[in-house]
Structure 1
Amino acid sequence: MLLKVLVFLVLVSVVVNSQQPTFNDDVLGLIFFKAGLDDPNAKLQSWSEDDNDPCNWMGVKCDPTTYRVTELHLDGLSLSGHVGRGLLRLQFLQVLSLSNNNLTGPINSELSHIGSLKVIDLSGNSLSGLIPDDFFAQCGSLGSVSFARNNLTGQIPDSLSSCSTLVAVNFSSNQISGQLPSGIWFLRGLQSLDISGNLVEGDIPEGIGNLYDLRQIDFGNNRFSGRLPEDIGSCSQLKSLDFSENYLSGSLPDSMQRLGSCTSISLRGNSFRGQVPDWIGELTNLESLDLSANNFSGRVPFSLGNLQFLRKLDLSMNQFTGALPESMANCFNLLAMDVSQNLLTGNVPSWMFKLGVNSALISGNTLIGKMESPLLASRVSSYQSLQILDLSSNALSGEIPSNLGVLSSLILFNMSRNHLFGSIPSSIGELKTTEVIDLSDNWLNGSIPSEIGGAVSLKELSLQRNFLSGKVPTQIVNCSSLTTLILSQNNLSGSIPPAIANLSNLQYVDLSLNDLTGSLPKELANLSQLMSFNISHNHLRGELPLGGFFNTIPTSSVSGNPSLCGSVVNRSCPAVHPKPIVLNPNSSDSIGGSSPNHHRKKIVLSISALIAIGAAAFIVIGVVAVTVLNIHVRSSMSRAPATLTLSGGEDFSCSPANDPNYGKLVMFSGDADFDAGAHALLNKDCELGRGGFGVVYRTILRDGRSVAIKKLTVSSLIKSQEEFEREVKKLGKIRHHNLVALEGYYWTSSLQLLIFEFVSSGSLYKHLHDGPGRTCLSWRQRFNIILGTAKGLAYLHRMNVIHYNLKSTNILIDSSGEPKVGDFGLARLLPTLDRCILSSKIQSALGYMAPEFACKTVKITEKCDVYGFGVLVLEVITGKRPVEYMEDDVVVLSDMVRGALEDGRVEECIDGSLRSNFPAEEAIPVIKLGLICASQVPSNRPDMEEVVNILELIQCPSDGQEELE
């Protein structure tokens, strides 16, 4: 017996050693895979080809018996490169997780051929291209696959329907388009399906009811149309359902009442209509219900009171009528409620305070009555959790409750646009955590209580358009976090407290249309974050502060104060001038005294006269110098470029080594010959336009091709030749169908030319504004111009290039109507991105410049381009210039449109040449997007990638079927 045991142990040892060879195939595969990666943080340093097995390597798990790799977890290691073929050697791999890295390239279709694979997670990378059609054809035992948050395109492959082992599929946040595969509901074992954030379109086919084990489905943010599948109620295990932000319509299918296990339903942003059925109250496990931004009507169902586990309810932006049902007092777990923008009536519900909700948004309805009653009727303990209370834009009356301070956790308090009267209670100072208070557009009177200084967390205070009187309390300086102070259109008097200058975070101040007197505190110039300061139409006097924001304050922000003085209002301040210099005609040439025998004509020269004489002399000298230089440049141009001919894409100087009259011409592609173009550079008949960086001419090359040549006028600021060429070559590599291509350049120490593709149909400015040549653009043409411009800017930002100079004259239209963004990145040619230099170079972009250009402490980022794009959007839609000078007023386009939107008149802003023939469901959201992009606060502006996505979502499904003329 002992002998048999010994033999058995020897055999086991042999078997184990035979499965742990000195040359492990998994080692070779992983080393091969690592060779195709960039590992900036040396996370894979432990991976050594000298090891017998990889079982102790970072991210690697092995079978303890066979020493073969079973799991590879390399998530969030900042790896870049491709998913290489080396992984195919890992024939026992079960889990492959490479999420949240920077991997690029296409998905390797052979990965799914590793028969042992159960989990593939490649989410959160930059993978591109199509999902291979045969990826799921031989999926073996694959149960979970995630390609979420990449750049994948094309359709969902039909082969997905044949992978019956799949339990979880996540293709969210890509650019996948087309329709759902017809056989997707054959995946009977599917428990989770997420394709949100794509461009998938068409109807949702029937058959989803076959997925009895489905627990989670997310089709949000796509382009699905039609109705919800009637058989969706057969998915009895469903926990979470999200079809938000699509084009779905019709009523809710009755089968949904069988979704008793569901905890979350989101149908936000569709076109569902009709009443919400009473059976909604049978879904007793619901914790979140979002039906916002649809066309639901009728009363809010009484049965909602049965949802005792409900934590979040969003019914906003519908057409619900009547009062909120009292039964909702039974929703004991309700934390957040949004019923804003409906047609609700009745009083402010008292149960809202008793439940202790965190957030209550009821704005934009027609609620009546007083807020004081429910607030006084509730227990103080129920107020402790209320953080957001928005009752704005209703018909509430009465006074603000005197016990307002019991709302001790309040962060946002908005009662604007109601019919409140009386004074602001002193208890407002007890709101220690409140960051936003908006009581604007009411009938409030009395003074602003000095106790306001107790609201120490306050960031935004809006009290405009009331009947407030008295002084601005100096105690407001205690609100050290204040960024926005809007007190306009009241009856405030007295002077502006100097203490306001200590509020170092102030960005927006509006004290206009009051009765303020006195002078402006000089210390206001030290407010480094300031972006807007409006004191117009008061009785202020004296000199405006010097420095900071006040050096560039708009005239409209100080108008209506006749006694203000300074360069901004074009009114000299009274000052003590020195006596004029008098030359005594009787004075002697000698040091001693005067000679009565010498009578000369008296000469009296004031300092201003001397300055005028000096200025005149300087101008004359300048004119002579410019004339001489121009003659020199014309003669050198006639010599140097006339012989420049170059083919190929390499750097090549055509000049003799020591001849300064020759320059360096480089074309990035094709051939160039300037023989015919030299004269055009100085011929005004060929001039296309002028900008902050130079003059543009059209030139025809010998091969008949037209190019646009920008003759740079910033030679004194240009970098050295080496730096200039390096930056220009970077710009030359940028290629996108919505960007004007840079074809080449020409360099001498005194002359620099940039050679661009010629765009035939001129600038967007010409099409919108240019007199008789103005083009009547259709709505569809305008939308395509906006979308194409957004795509071009988004591409620039992906290439880490800021435009700095976006305006309608820099948007060119080609022969097919496509926009092309020009003049991008030229600021990179300057030695430093100095704000003063930039402002002087792009001052022609009045109205497009982001406010942070005036604030030296705010970083200039891509959000500056987003601001300019927002103004451009409004310009395209309204047909008006960003700033228009009327006979006695200055109209800022963004302010005009924003005011019209607030007054419900936004459709009046749309260009009259469209003759009301435009889709309001597209035009109004685009206007709102433009206003958001033109936000004064950079962090409120979206990224251009987000703008493109939003525009594509706004675009109507019928786009392209019928052109709107």
Structure 2
Amino acid sequence: MRPLALLVLAHLAALVAAAEAKGGAAGAGLGDDVLGLIVFKADVSDPDGRLATWSEDDERPCAWDGVTCDARTGRVSALSLAGFGLSGKVGRGLLRLEALQSLSLARNNLSGDVPADLARLPALQTLDLSANAFAGAIPKGLFGRCRSLRDVSLASNAFSGGIPRDVAACATLASLNLSSNRLAGALPSDIWSLNALRTLDISGNAVTGDLPIGISRMFNLRALNLRGNRLTGSLPDDIGDCPLLRSVDLGSNSLSGDLPESLRRLSTCTYLDLSSNEFTGSVPTWFGEMASLEMLDLSGNKFSGEIPGSIGGLMSLRELRLSGNGFTGALPESIGGCKSLMHVDVSWNSLTGALPSWVLGSGVQWVSVSQNTLSGEVKVPANASSVLQGVDLSNNAFSGVIPSDISKLQNLQSLNMSWNSMSGSIPASILEMKSLDVLDLTANRLNGCIPATGGESLKELRLGKNFLTGNIPPQIGNCSALASLDLSHNNLTGEIPETISNLTNLEIVDLSQNKLTGVLPKQLSNLPHLLQFNVSHNQLSGDLPPGSFFDTIPLSSVSDNPGLCGAKLNSSCPGVLPKPIVLNPNTSSDPISPTEPVPDGGRHHKKTILSISALVAIGAAALIAVGVITITVLNLRVRAPGSHSGAVLELSDGYLSQSPTTDMNAGKLVMFGGGNPEFSASTHALLNKDCELGRGGFGTVYKTTLRDGQPVAIKKLTVSSLVKSQVEFEREVKMLGKLRHRNLVALKGYYWTPSLQLLIYEFVSGDNLHKQLHESSTTNCLSWKERFDIVLGIARSLAHLHRHDIIHYNLKSNNILLDGSGEAKVGDYGLAKLLPMLDRYVLSSKVQSALGYMAPEFACRTVKITEKCDVYGFGVLILEILTGRTPVEYMEDDVIVLCDVVRAALDEGKVEECVDERLCGKFPLEEAVPIMKLGLVCTSQVPSNRPDMSEVVNILELIRCPQDSPETELG
């Protein structure tokens, strides 16, 4: 205890003694309150001075900030210090407040242990310690010794371990909130004996196991929230026997089986969320009997069959979420009878039939039917909705023209009709809608010109992959709110209007794959927020606009414009490789010869001139050569006995050891999990070129064996100069070493010196995915099931990495290993975190071999690199695995991007032509189409449009057909 606190306590002890001599028991009680609060203050830090009014000189604390006293007794009855900015620990001083009824220390930064005796305060009813930094196990006895506790919240801390079994002993509890901690283990079976409990919230933990039976004993329970745990098994059959239960949230677990019929008896239930589980079977018609329901979420499960029309009888229903299941049949027209309905999401199912009239004609505000097979024309009913704000009809089979009277939807903010078969021209009335923020008509069959009016409120305009003609209207400069503009893959002609430079909010522009001519307006360099500008595959000419953005623009964004010129195009751009030099085989053996005779008698000469791309390639090759030489020299210096490189690896008596240097320079070899940190002697020395397995952007991999005979792979990092410190390196490596997943290559240990770092991995015996797809013989091909398993395995491993806040950064088929059973194992994950000095441009240069897998935001310095970059690379991998083609193919005069090829095939209904012709056996069309669509969704240019990897895993599991169904052949 601090000296000041000791002096304070001594002073207070004297005051208490005087009070007791003067005023008896009452004085003693008041003295205890003052003493307890001053002791509490001495144990905490108060940087904002919120406890400045607390003075040991006061006889009563009732005027102190945060303190409330009982009017009759004068004793402290409530202490509310929520959000005071306090840190430190909660000492035992508060145990003197014997009349305390309510204690709130929420939203501070308090840490350490929680005194278990707090619950023994005779009058304490409310205890709120939420949103602090308490850690460790919840103290034993906190609940078992309670006297009058009714409301307890320990939410949003870092408590770990299991839920205390003595929680059931606190019979007075009416509310228990343990959410957002790190609690694990099973749910105590006797927790249901808390029959006074009204609210139970254990969401956001890692609780495992089945839900115990007996929940019906909690006959006072109003709200149950177990969301975001790892619960398994089925719902208890008696869950519907809690007559007062109004809110049930069991989402994001691994619960399975059919829904128990007892749920129909929850007549007062208003909120039911069973999303992101593994429930199966059909949705019972008795859901229509749950008349009080206001929110029903069954999304992300494995439900099948038709959506019951009885749902239309739920007059109180406000939100209906059924996405990501296997529902078939038509979308019930009866749902329009839900008079309170505001939000409907039935996306990612297999619904068929026409669009019900209620979608555009009821009181619903937001509706999504995307990723189904709905068809027919889109018609606006006479009673067009006046409240509809967002509608997503994308990825269906809608046809016909876009109705001009869609403008009747006066409050519409977002309209997505992309990836359908809509034809005709774009009605000008749509662009004139005053509230419309987002219009996405991508990948239809629209023709005609872009309307020249309206669009002032638009923030996103996506018209790519259609058959639009004519010029880009100059009036587009009036769309002052526009941030994203996609007109790619059309037949637009003419010049890019200068007025586009008026759109100061522009972030993303894609005008690629058109027939645009003229020069790029110089004023484009004035756009302050521009992140991406793609004009590739047009007929533009002249120099690029000046400015930092266009100085660093990727070459792929301006490629295939033969007339574009200037010094900037002769320099290598970050993250982009130039096309390889392709020599004409018919030219003379001297490729640099300026002229060459032809068979017409010498009257004409065929010139062989190096193109701009060839010069760029030569320059890049020279830079790479310099880099290789530099790294080689550095490696030689590392190995040189006389260099100042710390420890030098050599083979001594058959074991890995360091050269006889001083202790200060000695290497450090660490094996996780207690492995033998020695390597056996073999016919080849460790790190010998004969043992080399491969080379990558971060280093070279060798094979060796441990002393116990276990083979391992060793990656020698070639980026030592970028490693910031041993402490940070070891911290990151140890974190990676804790990751364990069947689809991740396990990191087993590491070796450290200041100039040499080795990572020791498990040895995977099979080839990498790149070799299997692109270099193996036709007799060693992959079946559809094997490819699907690989895709699903990669997805699960990435979801696991992202749950631990690790971004892969370098996803590509070379880094996917296949073990002896064909199981995919992802390697090279998290290596960028070992190099704190890396910026994204250095990183891009290190992963140049991942060209085609890298998300477009890598080229934008101002955009944060997130998990969505991995999602992009995964989407490319999906398409590579299914098609057997590389992400980018370089031709002599063109670059073929795999994503574009697959999109075109889907547009033309020729998916079977995309699937790898080397695929062994047959494949199901009902799986091929949605999985390719998923790959394209993952490769969206806008990061926010890409799903999370956990969502991807759910979708893949939904796409997969039953294992016993025969694979059907296409064609």
Q: If the length of structure 2 is used for normalisation, what is the TM-score?
A: 0.73
1:147 matched residue in structure 2: 178
How far 1:26 moved relative to its partner? 6.9
Q: How does 1:205-244 map to 2 (within 5 A)?
A: 205-244=236-275
Give CA-to-partner distance per residue, 1:397-449, whole Å, 9 cap, x none: 37735x95x76644324455455535753x66644543223445666665434
2:206 matched residue in structure 1: 175
Q: How does 1:155-304 map to 2 (within 5 A)?
A: 155-253=186-284, 255-270=286-301, 272=303, 280=311, 282-292=313-323
1:832 matched residue in structure 2: 837
- Aligned counterparts of 1:623 and 1:294: Cα–Cα separation in 2: 52
Amino acid at match of 1:421: G
Number of positions where the alignment pairs a residue of Structure 1 with one of Structure 2: 862
Q: Report which of the two structures shows the higher radius of gyration computed on alpha carbons.
A: 1
1:655 matched residue in structure 2: 661
Partner SS state of residue 387, structure 2:
coil
Q: Is the 8 A contact 1:531 1:851 kept in 2?
A: no
- Aligned counterparts of 1:831 and 1:282: Cα–Cα separation in 2: 58
Q: Does 1:858 align with 2:863?
A: yes
Q: Is the 8 A contact 2:676 2:707 kept in 1?
A: no
Residue from 790, 797, 801 that aligns with 1:789:
797
Q: Is the 8 A contact 1:724 1:829 kept in 2?
A: no
Q: 1:206 to 1:645 in 2, by over 3 A?
A: same
- Aligned counterparts of 1:857 and 1:362: Cα–Cα separation in 2: 30
How far 1:47 moved relative to its partner? 8.7
How far 1:471 moved relative to its partner? 2.6
1:436 matched residue in structure 2: 438
- Aligned counterparts of 1:874 and 1:123: Cα–Cα separation in 2: 43
2:156 matched residue in structure 1: 124
1:361 matched residue in structure 2: 391
Give CA-to-partner distance per residue, 1:292-311, whole Å, 9 cap, x none: 55566666666656544444
Give CA-to-partner distance per residue, 1:858-899, whole Å, 9 cap, x none: 344554445444444554565544334468754434444555
Q: Is the 8 A contact 1:463 1:487 kept in 2?
A: yes
Give CA-to-partner distance per residue, 1:830-885, whole Å, 9 cap, x none: 68333443332222221232322222233445544454444445545655443344
Q: Is the 8 A contact 2:374 2:397 kept in 1?
A: no
Q: If the length of structure 1 is used for normalisation, what is the TM-score?
A: 0.74
1:726 matched residue in structure 2: 727
Q: 1:556 to 1:57 in 2, by over 3 A?
A: same
What stretches of structure 1 of length at least 5 have no aligned partner? 1-9, 366-391, 573-613
Q: 1:472 to 1:94 in 2, by over 3 A?
A: same
2:496 matched residue in structure 1: 496
Partner SS state of residue 193, structure 1:
strand
Q: 1:663 to 1:220 in 2, by over 3 A?
A: closer
Q: Does 1:759 align with 2:745?
A: no
Q: Is the 8 A contact 2:204 2:228 kept in 1?
A: yes
1:685 matched residue in structure 2: 690
- Aligned counterparts of 2:24 and 2:123: Cα–Cα separation in 1: 21
Q: Is the 8 A contact 1:31 1:47 kept in 2?
A: no
Give the stretch that moved more between structures: 194-203 or 814-823.
814-823
- Aligned counterparts of 2:178 and 2:186: Cα–Cα separation in 1: 13
1:479 matched residue in structure 2: 479
Partner SS state of residue 472, structure 1:
coil
Give the stretch that moved more between structures: 58-67 or 500-509.
58-67
Q: How does 1:45-194 map to 2 (within 5 A)?
A: 65=73, 67-113=98-144, 114-132=146-164, 134-194=165-225
Partner SS state of residue 727, structure 1:
helix
How far 1:505 moved relative to its partner? 4.4
- Aligned counterparts of 1:770 and 1:549: Cα–Cα separation in 2: 38
Q: How does 1:733-882 map to 2 (within 5 A)?
A: 733-734=734-735, 735-737=738-740, 738=744, 740-741=746-747, 743-747=749-753, 751-761=755-765, 763-766=768-771, 768-771=773-776, 776=782, 778=786, 781-782=789-790, 785-787=793-795, 789-791=797-799, 793-794=801-802, 797=805, 803-811=808-816, 822-824=827-829, 826-827=831-832, 832-872=837-877, 874-875=879-880, 880-882=885-887
Partner SS state of residue 32, structure 2:
coil
How far 1:45 moved relative to its partner? 8.4
Partner SS state of residue 493, structure 1:
coil
Amino acid at match of 2:401: S
Amino acid at match of 1:356: S
Q: Does 1:396 align with 2:404?
A: no
Partner SS state of residue 457, structure 1:
coil
Q: 1:950 to 1:173 in 2, by over 3 A?
A: farther
Amino acid at match of 2:379: V
Q: 1:361 to 1:68 in 2, by over 3 A?
A: same
Give CA-to-partner distance per residue, 1:889-910, whole Å, 9 cap, x none: 5443444455556666668766
- Aligned counterparts of 2:579 and 2:122: Cα–Cα separation in 1: 79
Amino acid at match of 2:739: H
Q: Does 1:22 align with 2:26?
A: no
- Aligned counterparts of 2:621 and 2:333: Cα–Cα separation in 1: 84
Give CA-to-partner distance per residue, 1:612-650, whole Å, 9 cap, x none: xx99999999999999988776653899544889999xx
Q: 1:863 to 1:493 in 2, by over 3 A?
A: closer
Q: 1:523 to 1:191 in 2, by over 3 A?
A: same
Give the stretch that moved more between structures: 227-236 or 11-20.
11-20
Amino acid at match of 1:123: A
Partner SS state of residue 492, structure 1:
coil
Q: Could you tell me the percent identity over the aligned residues?
A: 42
Q: Which structure has more RCO (C-alpha within 8 Å, separation ≥ 6)?
A: 2
Give CA-to-partner distance per residue, 1:147-191, whole Å, 9 cap, x none: 233333333221122222122222233333332211112222222
Partner SS state of residue 232, structure 1:
helix
Q: Is the 8 A contact 2:927 2:959 kept in 1?
A: no
Amino acid at match of 2:389: S
- Aligned counterparts of 1:463 and 1:616: Cα–Cα separation in 2: 39
Residue from 689, 693, 702 that aligns with 1:697:
702
Give CA-to-partner distance per residue, 1:259-294, whole Å, 9 cap, x none: 333333334444555666665455433344445555
1:319 matched residue in structure 2: 351
- Aligned counterparts of 1:397 and 1:619: Cα–Cα separation in 2: 54
Q: Does 1:558 align with 2:559?
A: yes
Give CA-to-partner distance per residue, 1:547-578, whole Å, 9 cap, x none: 64575535586327478785468999xxxxxx
Q: How does 1:523-542 map to 2 (within 5 A)?
A: 524=524, 532-542=532-542
Partner SS state of residue 728, structure 2:
helix
Supply the RMSD in Å over aligned alpha carbons. 5.4
- Aligned counterparts of 1:424 and 1:190: Cα–Cα separation in 2: 55
- Aligned counterparts of 2:187 and 2:632: Cα–Cα separation in 1: 67
- Aligned counterparts of 2:929 and 2:242: Cα–Cα separation in 1: 40
Amino acid at match of 2:438: V
How far 1:676 moved relative to its partner? 5.4
How far 1:685 moved relative to its partner? 0.2
Q: 1:88 to 1:501 in 2, by over 3 A?
A: same
Q: 1:335 to 1:497 in 2, by over 3 A?
A: closer
Q: 1:87 to 1:481 in 2, by over 3 A?
A: same
Q: Is the 8 A contact 1:233 1:259 kept in 2?
A: yes
How far 1:795 moved relative to its partner? 5.8
Q: Is the 8 A contact 2:501 2:526 kept in 1?
A: yes
How far 1:257 moved relative to its partner? 4.6
